[in-house]
Amino acid sequence: MSYQPTTDSPQQARKSLQGWRKRRGERLMVPPAEFTSYYGRAVLKEPTWEATDIAGYLFLGGLAGASSVLAAGAQASKRTELERASKVTAIGAISLSMVALVHDLGRPERFINMLRVFKPTSPMSVGSWVLSGYAPLAGLAAASRITGRAPRLGAAATAGAALLGPAVASYTAVLVADTAVPAWHEGFRELPFVFVGSGAAAAAGLGLLAAPVAETGPARRLAVLGAAAELAATARMEQRVGLIAETYHQGRAGTLLRAAKLLTTAGAVGGAMLGRRSRVAAAASGAALLAGSACTRFGIFEAGRASVKDPKYTVVPQRERISAADGFADAEPADT
C-alpha cells in the first residue's frame, strides 16, 4: 500500500500518448503510463480561492470589460438602449467583482495593501491597478449616461473604459495561468482567447437580453465572434495540454465545460438566426450566452482544482519533460 505506484488506465495513458504525438510530432517510445507519488498525496496546494468569489469574478470581470467595448460602439453608432444597458452592466459587474475580490481575501480589511506596490511580475498587482483605473471610468460613463449630465466627460470616460475594458477581460487569464496549477498554467497560450471570447459572448448576451431588437445587430455579431473564438481556443487548448486535458472533461469541471459549449453555441447560433425577428428569442439567446460564459469560468476554475488534487497531473508532465530532455533515454529506471 505504501509504495504502490499509481497506474493510469490504458485509456488515460493513450490519451497522454496522443497529446505527445500531436505536440512533438514524434513517437513516444516509453509511454508515461506509470508514476509514483507519496501515498497518492497532491504535490501542490489547492488554491485557497472560493469558486463563487474568484470564478464569479472571472465571469463578471469579462462581462464588464467587454460591455465597456460594446458600450463605446453603441454610443458611437447611436444605439442608445444598447449603450445604456452595456454601461450599467459594466459598472454593476465590476462593482460586484470588487466585492467578491475583497471578500475572498484572508484579511479583507487589508485590501488596500494591493496598491502598496506595483509589481509587473504579479498579474494580481497589475490587475489591481487596472481595476482601480477602469472602475471609476466605467462608473463615470454610466452615471453620465443615466443622468444626462456632463456628456463630454461621459464620452471621455466611455472611451477610457473601452480602452481598459479589453485589459480587464484578458488579464484574468494571465492571473490564473501564472500559477503552478497544471490545468491553468499549461493552457496559458489559449486561455486569454478563451476568456476574452467568453467575455465578449457574455457582454453580447447581455445586450441581446436588455436592448431592443433594432439595436442588437452588433451584439448578435459579437456573440458569434466571441463564441467562435472561445470554442476554437478551447479546442486547441484541450489538444495541446496532453494528459491534463482530462481535467477539462471529467467530474464537475467536465459537466460545466460541456454545458458551457452547449449554451454558448446555442446562444450564438440562436441569436444570429432568430434574434433579429423575435425579442423573446433574442432574450433567450442572450441568457444562454451569459450562462455559457459563467459555466466556462466555473469549469476552468474547477479543472484547476482537479488538476492540483491528483499528483498525476503534476508528476507525469514533468516526467515527460525530463524524458524529452534526455532524448527519450530515461535516466532513471522506473521502480516497480
Nearest CA to 159 among 219, 57, 82, 74? 74
* Shortest spacing between CB 146 and other proteins, in angstroms: 22
- Asked if 219 interacts with other proteins (CB under 8 A), we say yes
- Contact range with other proteins by CB under 8 A, out of 12-20, 137-145, 166-174, 242-250: 166-174
* Shortest spacing between CB 125 and other proteins, in angstroms: 4
- CB-CB neighbours of 9 under 10 Å: 9
H-helix or E-strand spanning residue 103: helix 80-104
d(CA 243, CA 250): 12
d(CA 241, CA 329): 23
Binder of other proteins out of 89, 144, 158, 170 (CB under 8 A): 170
* Shortest spacing between CB 83 and other proteins, in angstroms: 11
- Asked if 14 interacts with other proteins (CB under 8 A), we say no
Binder of other proteins out of 9, 48, 148, 329 (CB under 8 A): 48
Q: 77 to 106, contacts with other proteins by CB under 8 A?
A: 77, 104-106
- Cell numbers for 40: 497518492
- Asked if 328 interacts with other proteins (CB under 8 A), we say no
Binding mask 194-213 for other proteins (x = CB under 8 A): -xx--xx---x---------
Binder of other proteins out of 9, 25, 327, 336 (CB under 8 A): 336
Cell match 444598447: residue?
82
| Beta-bridge mates of residue 35 | 6
Residue type, 184: W
* Shortest spacing between CB 92 and other proteins, in angstroms: 20
* Shortest spacing between CB 330 and other proteins, in angstroms: 11
* Shortest spacing between CB 23 and other proteins, in angstroms: 16
Q: 264 to 323, contacts with other proteins by CB under 8 A?
A: 311, 314-315, 318-319, 321-322
Give 2 or 9: the residue with its C-beta nearer to other proteins.
Answer: 2
HSE at residue 67, side-chain half, CA atoms within 13 A, is 36
Contact between 293 and 59 under an 8 Å Cβ cutoff? The reply is: yes
Contact between 246 and 12 under an 8 Å Cβ cutoff? The reply is: yes
Binder of other proteins out of 15, 81, 96, 111 (CB under 8 A): 111
d(CA 271, CA 277): 10
- Asked if 180 interacts with other proteins (CB under 8 A), we say yes
Nearest CA to 191 among 205, 202, 179? 179
